[in-house]
Chain A
Amino acid sequence: MAIKYVLLAAVLSAACAGAVQAQEPIKVGLSGPFTGGSSAMGVSMRDGVKLAVGEINAKGGVMGRPLVVVERDDEAKNEVGVQVAQELINKEKVVATLGFINTGVSLASQRFYQEAEIPVFNNVATGSAVTKQFPAPNYIFRNAAYDTVQSAMIVEEAIGRKGFKKVAILADSTNYGQFGKDDLLKALTAKGMTPVAVEKFNVKDTDMTSQLLKAKEAGAEAILTYAIGPELAQIANGMAKLGWKVPMIGSWTLSMASFIDPAGPNADGAMMPQTFIQAPTTPKRKAFIEAYQAAYKVDRIPSPVSAAQGYDSVYLLAAAIEQAKSTDGVKIREALESLKTKVEGVVTTYDAPFTKDDHEAISGNIPVMGIVKGGRVEAVDMKDLEGDKALRVKPKG
């Protein structure tokens, strides 16, 4: 018994010492795939996060304490993600975790954060179910354009603006593609349409002839896609091979270098919703792009969207911790749900982005449609990024 009290005293005094010195770092978890197929997104996201953390620490940290990122590779595998979550929560004792590229990993791992009452910031994963896994008090937040938003934009572009009557859906067989396909179907139904063909393919498939022929035979005027880079490139190249060219309109992954580079000229004209386009349209964006290019010695950011959202997620979290004046999970969640300071991010300016029931920072009006032109992503309509339209803010209420 006596030993216990001695220990307790020791712990308490250590805690006090920490408070006095005010130097104890704040640990933030970072979970993402840094190896394997989706690592390009993971690495860009990580680099964006590190950039923001570096800036914040240079300005004196949060509540006078430096931020420390504990990064773990979840390998885009569910079970590794679960293990990473357990480790970050129980061993590293992080105050919050950022990351998740893959919806599946996110769905598998978040439960543990929810149970431990530690906030999670999904900054890339887009599955609509991600923030709706748990009822309030919900610890899952997101600052990425989720699939419902994206598919509404895709369908609007194809049906509304372009006026296509017949569209085909091509989605990969992972949960990313299949969740997205469901959202696309819903968005089409809302417009009173059904696709003429719904096809899928496996990751690493080398031949898309069957899928494309089916879409072609059904008379599709456009192809709506939900897949990741390499397979999207196979679709673009496959269409060229068949001598059949219809517009590709799809999720934001059409902006990935792993689509644009291998597809080459065939990628031109592909359209996708973008929360961020590598163009210095606001001072903040200009600063971010330059800082990124300087820090990682690249001209084109491998996945600009991931990098920008990763960067913003850190600032959102930092603002919440400052407001909560605590690293306690419950208090951080409450602060996030009633964020008082405006956070000026790269994607948008976050003005009270979350409420108790709405954990999505990105609303339908924020992303713009991007288009691939000559190997780079530009806005479909550059006017979308000019003047007062440059900064689109989530409407209140």
Chain B
Amino acid sequence: MFKYSALVFGLLGVAVLPLLILAIFGSSSPYYLHLVIVIGIFSILVLGLDIVFGYTGEVSLGHSALFGIGAYTAGCMVHHQLLVGGSASGTIDILIAMVLGTIVAAAFGALLALPALQVTGPYLAMVTLAFGTIIGILINETDAITNGPKGITLVKPMLFDLRWLGDTIPMFKIKAALMKDVAFYYLVMATLLGTIVFVNRIVASHYGRAFEALRDSPIASDCMAVSVYKHKVLAFVISAALAGLAGSLFAYSEQYIAPNNFSFEQTIGFLLAVTMGGRKSRIGPILGAIIIVSLPALLGDLQLFRGIAALIAIVAVASGTYAQIKADPKDRIAILVPVLLCLAFFALSLFITNITDFKRSIYGLMILFVVYYLPEGIVGFLRKLVAQFVPGFGKTEHKIDVHGDAAHIWAPPASPALNANGSMIDVKGVVMQFGGLKALDTVDLNVQPRTIHGLIGPNGSGKSTMMNVLTGIYRPTGGDIQFANGSIVGAKSPDIAGKGIARTFQNVQLFGELSVIENVMVGLHHTYETGIAGVALRLPSAAREEQEARVRAASILGFVGLEALANEEARNLPYGKMRLLEIGRALALDPQLLLLDEPAAGLTAPDIKELIAIIRKIKEHGITVILIEHHMDVVMSICDTVTVLDFGQKIAEGKPATVQANPRVIEAYLGGTAAEPAH
């Protein structure tokens, strides 16, 4: 953790210091001072957008509306004389405006996210686009509140009044009138710094892990009791709050706001800033904000534009040449394309005489270039470049050095809540129908506590469908499922997981970009009690929880034999280890019932032995297991009871040996008929 924050803050210092120093230069040039202020404000918003766009992978096209809501919250308060600007007493008022702007925007964000995020796919993008329109109309129409299209005029408050010193401030030779701007600049920078710290803490916490996890595998998140929906809404609300905060500052910095300030094009600009700067970082969004704020100026001045185009071409040729030397011959053409495009861009810049006519095209081309060739943004590109020379650069960020021990593998034992008939789970006549196909046809399944219950059958017999029905991924068409003395039919996956049913997946569903230990820690999400505020303030209880979770995670990794790989990215593990990691992650949920879906698939013989030992130990610790497996030796050696499915129907059930001898089972597996039992 120390290394992670040290690196981030080191880089932060690099980014922020020049900005702070700039203030002194800026104070002599209001133009640059204003530019830096706007950059600071946009940075706050873009950092927030990164949480949604970078971490959870959802696209919001409504951030400029949220920005506008923040601005208008401040503006309306001033307009209706609930707050004053201008005078010295404005200091408190601007802080009030900032808080209110944040809250109001967060509320609108929730209003928007709650319906829109129920569906995956491009819905959020589409709905936020519509939302932007609604907000625009509302601001325009509610004349009585917002002064409609005529806009609202505000005055920057005098944060510290230095006019008693005379017309100019001694030493700095700054006009006293300008001190207003300088003071406001410091306010913005302080807010930006606060935002950076806030975002850093959130993304380093269990929330940040949840955001990344749900992006990698939404289904696995849901089944780890990390509700995709709730966390996406949470991410969006945080992001909306930051947009509102930025908006309230923007109202004061521009001193005049009107509905047309907050347009669709601005939203595109914000997205471009995140993508171009680099997602999932702090520097990236700030860099992006610098670019989009200076873009109109760059595209307004032909000479400057040509200079920039030349610079880009030089960087492209340099890095392209380097890449040509290093790369696979087959990649050479692919690398050549962006380099040639950069050169063509420079050539184009020499031909254009009237830049304003082609401004939008240039803007569009920039977006395309970033999407195709800089998907990781400038920061990601530089990181990769540096990593070429300094191996391992940027990898140390997430390193967690904690040792686990046997004492921390298992949660304190609790007596399992059983059904009235003493079973762990009781499936009664479940039907699962897809169109005309009955994947499960009135199946009963009664699993006794502290047993290993095998579920076998040929491919397509309905085993995995049963898993999905039990974990709430499918809602059964008919029948009932009793667990912990209550029906779980119709409950959502995260709730079922929260009740104590954990699972692994037939086709591995790990959080690929998280490290091995972090995968387990997502499973431990339920052990955290600290809220967003606690994380942001870094309360001692939050730190304690995190430490406990780490020890626990390391211990579980030790149990499944992956401790040595704790800091490896999960996607880089060999297939067999992935399966073990899934078991470890499921155990982190402290389940009462563990569903294992073909855990032995892809394992070598010694690994399988180890797996059997692990499953036995799991049973010893009082956890009930349902095991789907094709390796008959595994099933026969560890299962207490075996149920056989075929074409969605239960054809046999009983002790392994009995089932193995059942003619219907043999028929199902070997394709013979009951009349001709196997010889």
Contact = CB atoms under 8 A, between A and B. Distances in A.
Asked if A and B touch directly (CB within 8 angstroms), the answer is yes
Interface string B356-372: 11011000000000000
Interface string A84-98: 101101110000000
A82 B177 CA distance: 19
Interface stretch (A14-22, A71-79, A161-169, A356-364): A71-79
B35 A86 contact: yes
A67 B148 CA distance: 40
A76 B265 CA distance: 13
A108 B34 CA distance: 14
A388 B502 CA distance: 95
B296 A90 contact: no
Contacts of B357: 34-35
B297 interface: yes
A375 interface: no
Contacts of B177: 115
B263 interface: yes
B651 to A, nearest CB: 64
A227 to B, nearest CB: 12
B31 A91 contact: yes
Given A35-B357, A175-B258, A87 B149 contact: no
B617 interface: no
A84 B150 CA distance: 21
Contact of B255 (A34, A77, A111, A178): A111
Given A34-B356, A86-B30, A79 B150 contact: no
B254 A79 contact: yes
A192 B91 CA distance: 47
A193 to B, nearest CB: 22
B296 A80 contact: yes
A39 to B, nearest CB: 9
Nearest to B355: A73
Given A79-B254, A173-B140, A87 B31 contact: yes
Nearest to B32: A90
Contact of B263 (A77, A107, A179): A77
B360 A35 contact: yes
A282 interface: no
B261 interface: yes
Contacts of B258: 78, 104, 107-108, 175
A78 B254 contact: yes
Given A90-B30, A175-B151, A178-B149, A82 B254 contact: yes
Contact of A86 (B34, B260, B263, B359): B34
A179 B150 contact: yes
B672 interface: no
A268 to B, nearest CB: 30
Contacts of A338: none
Contacts of A76: 260
Given A86-B30, A107-B151, A79 B261 contact: yes
A198 B48 CA distance: 42
Contacts of A34: 356-357
B149 A107 contact: no
Contacts of B319: none
A111 B256 contact: yes
B486 interface: no
A389 B140 CA distance: 42
Contacts of B151: 78, 104, 107-108, 175
B254 A108 contact: yes
A174 interface: yes
Interface string A272-290: 0000000000000000000
Contacts of A112: 30
A76 B261 CA distance: 10
Contact of A107 (B34, B35, B148, B256): B256
Interface in A45-102: 72-73, 75-80, 82-84, 86-87, 89-91
A172 to B, nearest CB: 9
Interface in B288-320: 296-297, 300
B331 to A, nearest CB: 39
Nearest to A42: B356
A83 B296 contact: yes
A345 to B, nearest CB: 27
Given A86-B30, A90-B29, A35 B149 contact: no
Interface in B1-35: 29-32, 34-35
A73 B260 contact: no
A115 B140 CA distance: 29
A30 to B, nearest CB: 12
A390 to B, nearest CB: 36
Contacts of A107: 151, 153, 256, 258
A67 to B, nearest CB: 19
B221 to A, nearest CB: 39
7 contacts: A34-B356, A35-B356, A75-B296, A78-B257, A91-B29, A175-B149, A202-B137
